[in-house]
C-alpha cells in the first residue's frame, strides 16, 4: 500500500518563567513554531505474514523554530531561524519460522538550519553570536537504527521460554542541551547491546526474566549541558569556552525481573 | 494572588521567618478553543483522498515578578516586573491518501 500526506502544524507560543539575574522583559514571550510536512511511503506484507516491510520518506520545513537557549543563567525558549529535517525511515520484520522473529529498523536524517545567522556563541567566547546556518539540529544523527532477534518456544506444562537480543546504534550528533555548535558537545556514534531470557508461566500469568542492558559497558553522554556559573567556579577555558557537564548513560546493568498478574 | 502583594507580604508580615534573599512569582492564564473538520473524497475507484482542517485559537496572559532583597543573591535574581500577553489563531491542514489500492 502506498500513501502520501501533506500536513501543517504548530507548537503554541508561550512565556519563559525562569528566574534571571538580568531582566528578560519581552524576551519572556515566544511565538508559535510552524511546520510543513510532506510524507511518502509504503507498507508491505506478504500474504503469509513472513515479511513485513514499511518505509517512509519525509521532509519537514520548520519556521520560527523554538530553540532552548541559555540567556545568562536562564534557560529560555526563543524563535530562531528556519530548519529543515528530511529523511527516510524503514522497518522490517521477518518470521522465517514460527518460533523465530527478526526485526530491523534504520533511519537516515538530513538535518540542517537553512538560516540561523545570530545563534548564541559558545558561552565564554566572543562575539556573543555566530552563524549556525548549515549546522544540524541537536540530537539529529545522520544514521540510527535498531536490530533484534527473538526466539520463543513452548516447553512442557504450558510454559514458554523466550530469548531476545537487541542492538541499537545512534550516529554522531550534537548532544548539547542548548544549540551553540560547540564541537565539545559532539557525541560520537555508539552502539548498545542488550539481551534477555524470559520464562513465562501458563497463559503468561507470571514470568521471570534475566536481563542485561548496555552489555558492552559503553560510555556515552545522553546530553551535555553548559555549566552555569562556570567562570566563578573556575571551569571556563579561554580557548574552548564554557565548562560542560556530561550526563552519562546507564552503564552495564544486569538484573532479574519477576512479574505476575492477578 | 497578585504577585506584587505576594512579594510584599513576604517582607512585611510580622512573625514570619527572615525575608528570603530573592523570590519570583510567575502566573499565567490560558484559554484555548479549537474546531476540526475532516472529509474523504473518492478521486478514482482505487484512490481516496482525506482532507482535514483545524482552527486553534490561544489566548495567554500572565506576569513575571522577581524581587531581590539581598545583594548576595544578585547573581540569581534581579528586580523585574513584566506583563505577558499573547494571542494567536491558526489554521492547520492535513491532506492524505489513506491508500492506493492495486487495481484488481
Domains of chain A: 2-260 (2.40.170.20)
A39-85 pLDDT tens trace: 999 999 999 999 999 999 999 999 999 988 878 788 889 898 899 99
**How far, in Å, CA of A198 to CA of B36, rounded?**
46
Cβ proximity of B61 and B21 under 8 Å: no
Q: Which pLDDT does position B100 carry in this prediction?
A: 55
A146-159 pLDDT tens trace: 999 999 999 988 89
∠ CA(A172), CA(A175), CA(A180), 5° rounding?
Answer: 110
With cut-offs at 50, 70 and 90, classify the pLDDT of residue B8. Answer: low
CA atoms within 13 A on the CB side of A112: 8
Query: Largest Cα–Cα distance of chain A, in whole Å?
Result: 72
Interface probe, candidates A12, A18, A26, chain B, greatest B C-beta count within 10 A: A12
Among B56, B76, B96, select the one facing A4 at the smallest CB separation: B96
Strands A129-130, A206-213: pairing is unpaired
With cut-offs at 50, 70 and 90, classify the pLDDT of residue B104. Answer: very low
Residue A213's nearest CA partner among A233, A234, A192, A227 is A192
Task: Provide the 3-class DSSP secondary structure of residue A79.
Answer: strand
A163-178 pLDDT tens trace: 999 999 999 999 998 8
Q: Which pLDDT does position B2 carry in this prediction?
A: 52
Q: Which pLDDT does position B16 carry in this prediction?
A: 55
**How far, in Å, CA of A20 to CA of B24, rounded?**
9
A209-221 pLDDT tens trace: 999 999 999 999 9
Interface probe, candidates A17, A18, A64, chain B, greatest B C-beta count within 10 A: A17
Q: Which pLDDT does position A230 carry in this prediction?
A: 81
Nearest chain B Cα to A73, which residue? B76
Question: What are the residue boundaries of the structural domains of chain B, listed by start?
Answer: 3-96
Q: Which pLDDT does position B12 carry in this prediction?
A: 47
Q: Which pLDDT does position A141 carry in this prediction?
A: 98
Predicted ipTM > 0.85: no
**How far, in Å, CA of A253 to CA of A245, rounded?**
23
Looking at per-residue pLDDT, the higher value among A204 and B5 belongs to: A204
Category of A159 on φ-ψ map: left (φ > 0), alpha (ψ -120 to 50) or beta: beta
**How far, in Å, CA of A75 to CA of A78, rounded?**
10
Looking at per-residue pLDDT, the higher value among B96 and B46 belongs to: B96
**How far, in Å, CA of A176 to CA of A180, rounded?**
8
Cβ proximity of B90 and A44 under 8 Å: no
The alpha-carbon gap from B9 to the nearest alpha carbon of chain A, in Å, equals: 19
Amino acid at each position: 500500500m502506498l500513501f502520501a500526506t501533506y500536513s501543517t502544524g504548530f507548537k503554541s507560543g508561550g512565556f519563559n518563567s525562569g528566574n534571571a539575574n538580568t531582566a528578560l522583559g519581552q524576551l519572556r514571550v515566544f511565538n508559535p513554531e510552524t511546520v510543513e510536512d510532506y510524507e511518502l511511503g509504503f507498507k508491505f506484507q506478504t500474504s503469509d505474514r513472513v515479511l513485513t516491510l514499511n518505509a517512509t520518506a519525509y521532509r519537514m520545513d520548520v519556521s520560527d523554530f523554538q530553540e532552548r537557549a541559555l540567556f545568562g543563567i536562564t534557560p529560555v525558549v526563543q524563535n530562531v531561524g528556519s530548519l529543515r529535517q528530511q529523511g527516510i525511515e524503514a522497518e522490517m520484520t521477518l518470521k522465517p519460522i514460527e518460533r523465530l522473529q527478526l526485526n530491523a529498523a534504520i533511519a537516515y536524517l538530513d538535518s540542517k538550519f537553512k538560516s540561523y545567522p545570530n545563534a548564541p556563541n559558545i558561552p565564554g567566547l566572543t562575539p556573543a553570536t555566530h552563524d549556525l546556518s548549515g549546522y544540524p539540529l541537536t540530537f539529529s544523527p545522520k544514521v540510527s537504527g535498531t536490530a533484534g532477534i527473538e526466539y520463543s518456544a513452548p516447553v512442557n506444562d504450558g510454559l514458554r521460554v523466550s530469548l531476545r537480543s537487541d542492538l541499537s546504534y545512534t550516529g554522531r550528533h550534537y548532544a548539547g542541551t542548548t544549540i551553540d555548535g560547540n564541537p565539545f558537545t559532539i557525541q560520537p556514534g555508539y552502539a548498545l547491546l542488550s539481551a534477555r531470557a524470559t520464562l513465562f508461566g501458563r497463559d503468561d500469568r507470571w514470568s521471570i526474566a534475566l536481563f542485561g542492558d548496555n552489555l558492552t559497558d559503553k560510555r556515552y553522554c545522553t546530553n551535555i549541558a553548559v555549566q552555569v556559573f562556570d567562570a566563578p567556579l573556575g571551569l571556563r577555558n579561554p580557548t574552548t569556552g564554557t565548562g560542560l557537564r556530561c550526563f552519562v548513560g546507564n552503564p552495564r546493568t544486569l538484573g532479574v525481573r519477576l512479574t505476575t498478574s492477578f | 494572588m497578585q504577585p506584587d502583594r505576594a512579594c510584599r507580604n513576604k517582607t512585611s508580615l510580622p512573625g514570619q521567618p527572615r525575608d528570603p534573599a530573592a523570590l519570583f512569582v510567575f502566573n499565567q492564564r490560558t484559554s484555548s478553543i479549537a474546531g476540526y473538520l475532516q472529509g474523504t473524497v473518492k478521486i478514482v475507484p482505487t484512490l481516496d483522498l482525506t482532507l482535514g482542517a483545524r482552527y486553534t485559537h490561544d489566548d495567554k496572559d500572565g506576569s513575571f515578578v522577581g524581587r531581590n532583597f539581598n545583594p548576595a543573591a544578585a547573581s540569581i535574581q534581579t528586580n523585574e516586573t513584566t506583563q505577558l500577553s499573547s494571542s494567536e489563531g491558526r489554521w492547520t491542514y492535513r491532506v492524505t491518501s489513506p491508500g492506493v489500492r492495486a487495481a484488481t
